Structure 1
Amino acid sequence: MNASDILSTISPAAVIIALLAIGGWVFTTWLRVKNGYPLDGAWGQAVYPKTSDEAMERVKLISQENAQLRAELGSVKDRLAVVERIVTDEAGRLSHEIEALRRPSN
């Protein structure tokens, strides 16, 4: 048996082992990302997102915008509730309430 026969016998097994190793690495990386675990760097150190002053400022601005949008959404929900009440109320009751508002209060 010469070297080319040995190589042709071993190479399919080596390719399968290499593909399984790469597939396992991809799968474990996917699981880490999915569950929020830190990824490993080239030498095994944990890779965390870099936090700089600029990034912290962006987070602060986004948080403020989020609070403003939540407040605006709350007011839109209140207005929508009023519109739903107007649409679903009886027509006679609505006209009675409107006329009561038009009358001068004593």
Structure 2
Amino acid sequence: MSSHLGMLIPLAAITIGPIAWTVNTWVRAKHGYPIETKKGQLIGRDGDLTTSRQTELLVAENEKLHGQISRLEERLAVLERIATDPAERVSREIDALR
């Protein structure tokens, strides 16, 4: 039995490292972390966006949302004016538009 145990120790020492590296890489890839080679160099992904491209997309989305908010604020101001103005004045303005 001790001869079998003597064979398992070197075999385990050789195989545990690559298996651990493979599992680590799989977990990192699954959760979106950057993948590294055995030498520690990052491997790029085809689907990943560069930081500058991500920034450009976020700036464009931010500008779009600011425009939507501005339009909604204008509409809200009109609705507030209609709701708080006396009905007589609103009817005069409607008649003036006709």
- When normalised by structure 2's length, the TM-score is 0.49
Which of the pair has the greater relative contact order for Cα pairs under 8 Å at 6+ separation?
Answer: 2
- When normalised by structure 1's length, the TM-score is 0.46
